[in-house]
């Protein structure tokens, strides 16, 4: 089974797959400066909460690498703070972005009194490497825990892309599928196309087909009908931010899928690393929701499909209330209701 490498360090650059070109072209791009990394995150060359976090960590190092070695540590930290804010502005919803930036920045602050600027730079790069390695391991563990929940099912629905191309390797929602394949279990994945940018069609279907896993592509608005016909056994999706009570932000359309699953008594699971939990957010009502350009809806991929001048509301994410979620699969195990108590246990363990 061939899994794609979403993001890696070459020794001089961050090499990532330009996901805006999928599935027509598989192109690797080398990012060598913070400006290009900001752009790559903003325009979705790299996407998926865990992968965004990894990219941001390396992006902050790339910024640091341009700072003169003979300047003071205090000047260096001010420069890091500025670039952290710059990278944080690339996308507002995925909490992994802020978590990774904060981790690398705080590491630089801890070392500032005892290390030189060049030494701090090296250590920041090591932190980015660690975030990448930890994500690979977390994905595998999420897959193992999720497989125990899903192995009794055959036909799995997913929305958007939370596979290897959204992380360092295994993914989150698709990790149980990959672990199952390694164990000889043949899952059949139904992938929503995921309007308006078609991450399910362009990316999920692409990577599953590349890995030799059975996949059927669906129009977004057909999922409930398939559930009614008995074609879906379980749903598993990823997450970009999870509130303290278990409310979960994920790609727009996820809430509709969760409602349909509830109506048909179909298990609905969220798969995400513990870094996706945001204890500062009490509920989904407080999660900032990114709004993207109208052109993604009116003339996606270069072809106009709506009248000129039409008003557009293009939310990138929605929030699924915790009451609709059967469980959240993390690297530390599967959390069940009441989710607020389970989440608190994971955060403090």
Q: Domain extents for the chain?
A: 7-137, 141-348
Q: What pairing do the DSSP bridges indicate for beta strands 234-237 and 214-218? A: unpaired
Buried b / exposed e over 131-158, threshold 16 CB at 10 Å, is: bbebbeebbbbbbbbbbebbeebebbbb
197-203 mean pLDDT? 97
Q: Which two three-digit tokens encode residue 288? A: 């900032």
pLDDT digits (tens, 9 = 90+) for 79-90: 999 999 999 999
Mean pLDDT score, 2-22: 93
pLDDT at position 340 is 85
- Check if 7-137 and 141-348 are the same fold: no
Mean pLDDT of the chain: 95
241-243 sheet: strands from edge to edge: 277-278, 241-243, 248-251, 317-320
Question: What's the whole-number mean pLDDT along residues 334-347?
Answer: 84
Protein fold of 141-348: Rossmann fold (3.40.50)
User: What pLDDT digit, counting tens, does each position of 137-164 carry?
Assistant: 999 999 999 999 999 999 999 999 999 9
Compute the distance between CA of residue 173 and CA of residue 333 in angstroms, rounded to an integer.
14
Q: Given a cut of 60, is residue 348 above it in pLDDT?
A: no
pLDDT number for residue 18: 97
Model pLDDT for residues 49-83, shown as the tens digit of each residue = 999 999 999 999 999 999 999 999 999 999 999 99
Percent of the chain, pLDDT > 90? 93
User: How many angstroms separate the Cα of 288 from the Cα of each of 83, 243, 291?
Assistant: 21, 11, 10
Confidence of residue 347 (pLDDT cuts 50, 70, 90): low
Q: What is the pLDDT of residue 1?
A: 66
Tens digits of per-residue pLDDT, 166-181?
999 999 999 999 999 9
Task: Provide, rounded to the nearest whole percent, the portion of the chain with pLDDT above 70.
Answer: 99
Residue 243, phi then psi, degrees to nearest 5? -75, 170
Instruction: Kindly report, residue by residue over 237-293, the tens digit of the pLDDT.
Output: 999 999 999 999 999 999 999 999 999 999 999 999 998 999 999 999 999 999 999
Q: Measure the CA–CA gap between 132 and 8, rounded to whole angstroms.
A: 8
Establish whether 240 is a catalytic residue. Answer: yes
Q: Which pLDDT score is estimated for 231? A: 98
pLDDT at 224 over 60: yes
pLDDT score for 345: 74
110, pLDDT greater than 90: yes
Q: What is the mean pLDDT of residues 302-314?
A: 97
How far apart (Å, rounded) are the C-alpha atoms in residues 148 and 254? Answer: 23
**pLDDT higher than 80, residue 3:** no
Active-site residue, from 240, 247, 278, 318: 240
Q: Is 2 a residue whose pLDDT tops 70?
A: no
Dist CA 148 CA 192 (whole Å): 24
What fold is seen in the domain 7-137? 1.20.120
């Amino acid at each position: 089974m061939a899994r794609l490498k979403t993001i890696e360090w070459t020794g001089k650059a961050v090499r990532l797959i330009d996901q805006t070109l999928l599935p027509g072209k598989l192109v690797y791009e080398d990012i060598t400066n913070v400006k290009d990394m900001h752009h790559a995150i903003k325009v979705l060359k790299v996407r998926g909460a865990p992968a965004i976090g990894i990219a941001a960590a390396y992006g902050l190092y790339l910024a640091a690498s341009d700072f003169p070695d003979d300047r003071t540590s205090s000047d260096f930290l001010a420069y890091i703070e500025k670039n952290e804010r710059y990278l944080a502005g690339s996308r507002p919803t995925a909490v992994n972005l802020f978590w990774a930036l904060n981790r690398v920045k705080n590491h630089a602050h801890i070392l500032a009194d005892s290390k030189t600027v060049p030494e701090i730079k090296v250590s920041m790069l090591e932190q980015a490497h660690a975030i990448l390695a930890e994500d690979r391991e977390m994905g595998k563990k999420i897959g193992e825990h999720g497989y125990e929940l899903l192995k009794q099912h055959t036909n799995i629905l997913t929305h958007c892309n939370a596979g290897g191309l959204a992380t360092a390797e295994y993914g989150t929602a698709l990790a149980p599928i990959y672990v199952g394949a390694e164990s000889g279990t043949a899952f059949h994945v139904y992938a929503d196309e995921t309007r308006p940018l078609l991450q399910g069609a362009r990316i999920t279907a692409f990577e599953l087909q590349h890995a030799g896993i059975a996949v059927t592509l669906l129009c977004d608005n057909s999922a409930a009908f398939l559930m009614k016909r008995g074609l879906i056994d379980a749903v598993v999706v990823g997450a970009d931010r999870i509130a303290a009570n278990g409310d979960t932000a994920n790609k727009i359309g996820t809430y509709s899928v969760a409602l349909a699953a509830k109506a048909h008594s179909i298990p609905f699971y969220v798969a995400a690393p513990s870094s996706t939990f945001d204890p500062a957010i009490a509920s989904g009502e407080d999660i900032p929701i990114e709004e993207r350009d109208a052109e993604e809806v009116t003339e996606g991929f270069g072809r106009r499909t709506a009248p000129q001048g039409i008003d557009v509301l293009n939310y990138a994410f929605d929030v699924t209330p915790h009451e609709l979620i059967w469980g959240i699969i993390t690297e530390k195990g599967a959390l069940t209701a009441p989710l607020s108590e389970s989440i608190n246990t994971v955060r403090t363990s």
